[in-house]
Structure 1
Amino acid sequence: KEANAPIYASEDIRNIKKIAEREDTLELLANSLAPSIYGHLWIKKAVILLMLGGIEKNLKNGTHLRGDINMMMVGDPSVAKSQLLRAIMNIAPLAISTTGRGSSGVGLTAAVTSDQETGERRLEAGAMVLADRGVICIDEFDKMNDQDRVAIHEVMEQQTVTIAKAGIHASLNARCSVVAAANPIYGTYDRSLTPTKNIGLPDSLLSRFDLLFIVLDQMDPEIDGQISEHVLRMHRYRSVLDGGDGTLDGSSQYGREEEADAGSSVFVKFNRMLHGKKTERGRKRDTLTISFLKKYIHYAKHRVQPDLSDEASEHIATAYAELRNANSNAKGGGGTLPITARTLETIIRLSTAHAKLKLSRTVSKSDVEAALKVLNFAIYHKELTEMEDREQERERELERKRKAEHDGHNNESAGLSRRSKTRSAHGAETTAEDATAEAMEVDEPPAAQSAINISPERIEAFDSILGQHMRANHLDVISIPDIERVINAEAATRYSRPEI
């Protein structure tokens, strides 16, 4: 029924069900997708869900709801975007690769040509039509002409190519997932600009992508050391294979396994060059073989068609409303994608794909939560830190700071109200010593006392300017002199050092 469909042995089915029962199924498959690429765990998770896809629906009124997931990566050069596209080409049952510079609109959709012998007009399918029921990978997406990019709008949402040329009227199916990789508009990502300005693509096109990842080449000595260690291990691992030594812990299974081996191995045998050091808990990192990964994805994609449960539906509706609200309140550009009704369908598709991954017949709340983690990572470009634990810790720290500032403002307001009541009770006879005693009873820190005369408007303006500066420059810590310089450069009225 499908090209390149694998052949399953009974042992394969048992192993697939065993992997599906694991709690870390998505992470395991993501780490097995491209072991030679360091990091990018969330993008790899998104690729796994993309290859599984949601459920396509054709309603009785003629409406087509696509099940395929579209994804785009935008970022600095040399961050493994093209390597990830190659990994998809290696795993997906049907994948077609093209580049923006070497592709035209008709080359991607369909063209009308003349037969040299008979002179008759005929249709020639483009790359997206040929990738029907598969994946099309478009590298250098930013190098395409605007007119050529417009040609793929219909394909990405309606999944058809409509032709009305030279007396030929036809509609061709192009039910494929689009994975695009592009560089920012200025060549490298400018952190002082919003994601939308860096990407430089129209919202009408961006909204058709379910996920858009910002991939940055950040300068972090710790991460740089880990990347260099990983790359060197990969070179040493490959050099042994290229030398023809097939006894390297049986790791000749990594790459192409023999098709004749019906009950193929599930895991790549542990090799220090491939897997590196053990995890913090002392366990070795599991990596699935390429052949088993292909079988798992094909089996999970076609085996079950999950239905949305009531609990999952309510959770999706609530999450979508929160995303819309957060996007409308965001200052300084918001996320990478516009939050539209298509985002709601994105959550449904990702949740359904995760349910397929777990071989579940219903989409549960846990599937929705897993999908929302991937979506939030894509929208709010947390790729800036690369480390999930680090990012969560920083988010918690910022939340604690905001709460402390909020409590400080409340204490300050309480102190002011108490002092005003004291003055009204004692009249004009209240002395400076009495006022000082009142203030000491409130038990406020000196910083709060020095800031008691700041109006709420000035505090709000201060928070707005400082918050926008820290978001634009991705700062977690900033010194007092820098705060003074930034605030007074933007503020209408100068802030003094005691006020800051």
Structure 2
Amino acid sequence: MNVDKIEEFIQSQKSKVLELTSKYPERKSLEVDFKELDFFDGGLAESLLEKPDEVIKEFERLLSVETGLKAHVRFFNLPDVVGVDVQKLGEEHLNKLVKVEGVISWITEINPRVKTAVWECVYCGRKQDVETDRVSALKPPGQCSECGRSKFKLLEGESEFINVQRAKMQDLIEKLQGSMPTSTITMWLEDDLVNSVFPGEKVVVTGVLRIMPPKEGRGKSSVYGKYLEVVHIRKVMQEFEEISVSKEEERRIKELSENPKLYDLIVQSIAPGIYGYNELKSAIALQLFGGCPNKVLPDGQRVRSDIHILLIGDPGCIVGGGRVVLGDGGVERISSLGVEHLQEINQRVLTGEGRATAIAKRFHVYESQPVIEVVTETGKSVKGTFNHPLLTVEGGRRVWKRLDEIKEGDRVVVVGFIPCSVRKRVRTGWEFTGSSEGVKLPREVGFELAGLLGYLLVRGRVLKSGFECLVDGSDEVLGLKVSRLVEESFGVKPREFIVKRGRRFFKRFVLSSSIVASTVGFLREGRVPGFVMRSGNRVVASFISWVFEGGGRVSRSGVELKSSSVEFLRDVQILLLRFGVRSEVRGWENSRSLKLCVGGESLRRFARLVGFQSEGKRVELKRVVQRVAVKEGVLKGLLTERVARVLRGGFEDVYDVEVPRGHRFIANGVVSHNTAKSTILQYVARLAPKCVLVSGKGASGVGLTASAEKDDVTGGWILKAGAMVLASGGQVNIDELDKMDKEDRSALHEAMEQQQINIAKAGIVAQFNTRTSVLAAANPKFGRFDPNEPPTTQFDIPPTLLSRFDLIFTIKDVLDESRDRRMAEHILLVHSSTPSDVIMPSISLSDLRKYIAYARRTCFPKLSKEAGDKIKEYYVSLRKMGKKENTFSITARQIEGIIRLAEASAKMRLSSEVGLVDAERAISLTDFVLKDVFTDKETGLIDTDIVNIGQSKSRVDKIRLVINIIQSIEREVDMVDIDEVVKRASEVGLDEVSCRKIVNELSLQGELYEPKTGFVKSARKRIE
């Protein structure tokens, strides 16, 4: 390091130094462009990067000599070669100068830190100055330099303090893809850097990476934390600059913008793996481009440019015990395929189309949903939400039907054979936790262990100290087999006892081991173990054979297995399909004499591929097979079974897996449909240049917006930015919006409309920008859409929040044959064109991201007269229509939404002007939504009150009519007879059903109460 060069460089910055001197102490830093230093002396610039502590200290010493001030020297504009992403900051960057770009997620209050502590010896009074470390606790000198003793007191009044503030920075949202996790780094800001940034702001930081010593504990950890000591910080205002566009890419973008089919190409590139929903995809495409920002009204109010869209769709799910067939033929309960809602998974499943498979991408959980159960003639059962679809056959046609649409006598499609490709043995996951007690625990599921567990399930029991099972004493060979199963599975020979029961005697085999007892304790559940369900055919055959040996018998026409558990029999039933063996659960109606029966064409396959273990039962089975003499054959492909019973259940937790390509899977041997709107949100999250994907169930209002929280370190306050603040200038995708608490949802009102959040807490007043478009998804209030009720009455979202959305789409699982046929062709095309699980969009995802980012930062179209006249004409025509019927068919809020959509359409074309085609496109989408969501089912007219206040004008009029009738009768009598209300209402045209429904609703709302059955009174006193 050349000190003379540093002094010479400071002299070259004379004008800046003089400006600093004149503005000190309001300004305390000399800001130096690194490029200027590099141009002046490359060696000195290199030393700064490698040894920033020494170089900066010398710069500040010489600056102090020059000016007589305690000023800082802050370097900025470092080269890209030293630029590092937050997630990549590691040991190679320690104590070096780096450049990091990110977004501020939270900041603390300002706190004073002791920079130089003054310690006084309590014996001789000698004072010593000690420079303090930023993150370590204050420590006095080791001993007094005067008397040599080591007891000191801190003199706070004479010590030097400096303002400090901590902040946390995370990776830029636009650098992340979809749901990629973010990395964060704590930043340390001192002196004039405090209060220089705010949560949600995008910054470029010059700093030195430091280590943070581990917290004191029982032993010192070898793992250290890290933080960034900030040297300089600069705010970045421009959005999407991280998505760089080369000259060649810019040329291609402009060329694409002139394509006459541009709009269709972009719409086709939105979630191409999902068939249909063209209007929704069109709306999302426009949302990604957004309207024109920075429009301000004369009164200073900013006009929102971001487009908000809400999707409300049917979730179709089954209960946790539903058995899903995996891609390799293994079977797993659907509740075991994931842990938490919206968890990403990568599980291949069979689709029920021969050996065709598809990948389940995401796991869903919905708590306490109303369920319904469909049971087929062979005892197969599917229990799920009312709208969960099964494939049925009706009039020779395959038709998807919801569970609540299926009737007894309908025929559902089932599979007759489950292909299995499992070859490796499945691990048990068993491990010792204490003394082995002389036993071994098998690590893999082999034939012996599977057979033993099968026999224990039907002829044994698990005790506290081990397990035992019974064998017919007359069958010596079978007894030896059972003993060998125990010994080969657990390494210990079981003890043998003779048990007499009347004239018969049995052998009781006992294994005494508390470890084994706790290990196989799951057998008490009475279900087939999960690792057996996932095992290969040879292991499964051994398990089933021993199950039938212990609990089964040969009947006159086949074989049967008895059990007290219908779910155990259904477990075995689906495993038998591995061998093409169809079976029937009998007695499930009353749970008495429950048994699983195999006969007919499946009997010969059972005998050959599964069979019994004892010689006696083998001979009996052979005799029955010869007598029945049914030709052996596997029933491949899809079969149908008659629905024997439809049972209404209570409320249960239900589960779903998203299968984006096949949209179907096998549940309990029945072909089930997969419906999930979350796929759209995930795809858009990957496509949008800047997007955060959150789940409403796991996000609070403050987690979406902003909050002030207590700082555990200092006891002060931390200002935290939520998802909408961090994604400001981009997009937030919110799944499960209806699962948020009402209080949390209310926090979204201001964030969505005014696009800012104001916080006033504990004396802290702050304002955050939330200039973010919102794409939200929710479920209907009652689990599914009722086609006979207006959609808005089925939204569990308050009207005040609904009205913030520009467009609302209802995604109904309409089971239409022609649409399903086109969807099937779409899926088959994917299968035949590429082995990939991803359907190639018309424009690649990366190219479309760049196109959107380029349009958003370069294109700001103005509304043309033709477009404005078209929008005005549409608005006036709808207002006139509403005036005739005394309804509000459209409001000014919809007009603003149409303008935003039209501007987005023009942006898509990279046009400087919003043309007639853009206005027509925006009007078409708005008209589609108005007719689907805002139409009053009773009058057939568009009425925005349906969303704005939650009820249509006609509905409000009926409620007022009923209230007026009740109040009129109350003037005559004390209690109002409901029948009299119905009678008077019918005289003025209100039918009985509607009248009684309104009375019930008013009672539930607390407007009325029932003093006795059949009578009501107003809950509020009427003032004459």
Q: If the length of structure 2 is used for normalisation, what is the TM-score?
A: 0.32
Change (3 A) 1:136 1:236: farther
Equivalent of 1:33, from 263, 266, 270? 270
Whether the aligned pair in 2 keeps the contact of 1:129 and 1:174 (CA below 8 Å) is yes
Equivalent position of 1:178 in the other structure:
774
Equivalent residues in 2 for 1:362-377, closer than 5 Å: 362-377=913-928
Equivalent position of 1:290 in the other structure:
845
Equivalent position of 1:448 in the other structure:
none
Equivalent residues in 2 for 1:68-217, closer than 5 Å: 68-77=306-315, 79-217=675-813
Amino acid at match of 1:127: A
Q: For each residue in 1:198-220, what CA deviation from the matched residue of structure 2 results, as whole angstroms up to 9, or x when unmatched?
A: 22433221111000011111121
| Secondary structure in 1 matching 2:269 | helix
2: distance between equivalents of 1:122 and 1:294?
Answer: 34
- Structure 1: gaps spanning 5 or more residues: 243-253, 255-273, 276-285, 383-464, 466-500
Q: CA deviation at 1:317?
A: 1.2
Change (3 A) 1:201 1:117: closer
Equivalent position of 1:220 in the other structure:
816
Whether the aligned pair in 2 keeps the contact of 1:111 and 1:125 (CA below 8 Å) is yes
Whether the aligned pair in 2 keeps the contact of 1:75 and 1:216 (CA below 8 Å) is yes
Q: CA deviation at 1:13?
A: 2.1
Amino acid at match of 1:199: F
Amino acid at match of 1:359: L
Whether the aligned pair in 2 keeps the contact of 1:58 and 1:64 (CA below 8 Å) is yes
2: distance between equivalents of 1:29 and 1:158?
Answer: 30
Equivalent position of 1:340 in the other structure:
891
1: distance between equivalents of 2:774 and 2:850?
Answer: 22
Q: For each residue in 1:441-487, what CA deviation from the matched residue of structure 2 results, as whole angstroms up to 9, or x when unmatched?
A: xxxxxxxxxxxxxxxxxxxxxxxx9xxxxxxxxxxxxxxxxxxxxxx
Change (3 A) 1:371 1:120: same
Q: For each residue in 1:76-112, what CA deviation from the matched residue of structure 2 results, as whole angstroms up to 9, or x when unmatched?
A: 2254421110111011111111112111111111111
The answer to whether 1:44 aligns with 2:281 is yes
Change (3 A) 1:48 1:63: same
Equivalent position of 1:319 in the other structure:
874
Equivalent of 1:65, from 295, 298, 303? 303
Amino acid at match of 1:367: D
Equivalent position of 1:250 in the other structure:
none
Q: For each residue in 1:29-55, what CA deviation from the matched residue of structure 2 results, as whole angstroms up to 9, or x when unmatched?
A: 010122111111111111111011001
Equivalent position of 1:419 in the other structure:
none
Q: CA deviation at 1:15?
A: 2.1
Equivalent position of 1:18 in the other structure:
255
2: distance between equivalents of 1:80 and 1:328?
Answer: 40
Amino acid at match of 1:46: A
1: distance between equivalents of 2:925 and 2:292?
Answer: 18
Whether the aligned pair in 1 keeps the contact of 2:240 and 2:853 (CA below 8 Å) is no
Q: CA deviation at 1:327?
A: 5.2
| Secondary structure in 2 matching 1:228 | helix
| Secondary structure in 1 matching 2:789 | coil
1: distance between equivalents of 2:831 and 2:713?
Answer: 53
Change (3 A) 1:218 1:44: same
2: distance between equivalents of 1:131 and 1:326?
Answer: 40
RMSD: 2.9
Q: For each residue in 1:107-134, what CA deviation from the matched residue of structure 2 results, as whole angstroms up to 9, or x when unmatched?
A: 1111111222211112111111111111
2: distance between equivalents of 1:378 and 1:11?
Answer: 39
Instruction: Give the fraction of aligned pairs with identical amino acids, expressed as a percent.
Output: 42
Amino acid at match of 1:298: A
Change (3 A) 1:21 1:329: farther
Q: For each residue in 1:261-296, what CA deviation from the matched residue of structure 2 results, as whole angstroms up to 9, or x when unmatched?
A: xxxxxxxxxxxxx47xxxxxxxxxx71111111111
Q: CA deviation at 1:168?
A: 0.8
Equivalent of 1:349, from 887, 891, 900? 900
Equivalent residues in 2 for 1:393-472, closer than 5 Å: none
1: distance between equivalents of 2:881 and 2:732?
Answer: 32
1: distance between equivalents of 2:885 and 2:801?
Answer: 22
1: distance between equivalents of 2:824 and 2:676?
Answer: 14
Q: CA deviation at 1:66?
A: 0.7
Change (3 A) 1:124 1:235: farther
1: distance between equivalents of 2:284 and 2:686?
Answer: 12
Change (3 A) 1:293 1:205: same
Amino acid at match of 2:263: L
Whether the aligned pair in 1 keeps the contact of 2:866 and 2:915 (CA below 8 Å) is yes
Q: CA deviation at 1:361?
A: 0.8
Equivalent position of 1:280 in the other structure:
none
Amino acid at match of 1:301: R
Q: For each residue in 1:374-418, what CA deviation from the matched residue of structure 2 results, as whole angstroms up to 9, or x when unmatched?
A: 211222229xxxxxxxxxxxxxxxxxxxxxxxxxxxxxxxxxxxx
Equivalent residues in 2 for 1:242-281, closer than 5 Å: 274=839
2: distance between equivalents of 1:329 and 1:381?
Answer: 21
1: distance between equivalents of 2:883 and 2:695?
Answer: 35
Q: CA deviation at 1:18?
A: 2.3
Question: Per chain length, whose mean CA-contact separation is higher, i.e. which structure has more relative contact order (CA < 8 Å, sep 6+)?
Answer: 1
Deviates more, 1:213-222 or 1:19-28: 19-28
| Secondary structure in 1 matching 2:788 | coil
2: distance between equivalents of 1:325 and 1:72?
Answer: 28
Q: CA deviation at 1:10?
A: 2.7
Q: CA deviation at 1:364?
A: 1.3
| Secondary structure in 1 matching 2:765 | strand
Whether the aligned pair in 2 keeps the contact of 1:4 and 1:94 (CA below 8 Å) is no
Whether the aligned pair in 1 keeps the contact of 2:239 and 2:857 (CA below 8 Å) is no
| Secondary structure in 2 matching 1:343 | helix
Change (3 A) 1:59 1:47: same
Deviates more, 1:199-208 or 1:162-171: 199-208
Q: CA deviation at 1:329?
A: 6.1
Amino acid at match of 1:321: V
Amino acid at match of 2:289: L
Change (3 A) 1:32 1:104: same
Whether the aligned pair in 1 keeps the contact of 2:728 and 2:771 (CA below 8 Å) is yes
Q: CA deviation at 1:322?
A: 2.4
Whether the aligned pair in 1 keeps the contact of 2:314 and 2:785 (CA below 8 Å) is yes
1: distance between equivalents of 2:780 and 2:770?
Answer: 28
| Secondary structure in 2 matching 1:98 | strand
Equivalent position of 2:854 in the other structure:
299
Q: Counting helix residues as a fraction of each chain, which structure ranks higher? A: 1
Q: If the length of structure 1 is used for normalisation, what is the TM-score?
A: 0.64
Q: CA deviation at 1:4?
A: 6.5
1: distance between equivalents of 2:825 and 2:249?
Answer: 34
Equivalent position of 1:5 in the other structure:
242
Q: CA deviation at 1:229?
A: 3.2
Q: CA deviation at 1:328?
A: 5.9
Whether the aligned pair in 2 keeps the contact of 1:160 and 1:171 (CA below 8 Å) is yes
| Secondary structure in 2 matching 1:381 | helix
Of structures 1 and 2, the larger Rg is shown by 2
| Secondary structure in 2 matching 1:219 | coil
1: distance between equivalents of 2:715 and 2:930?
Answer: 51
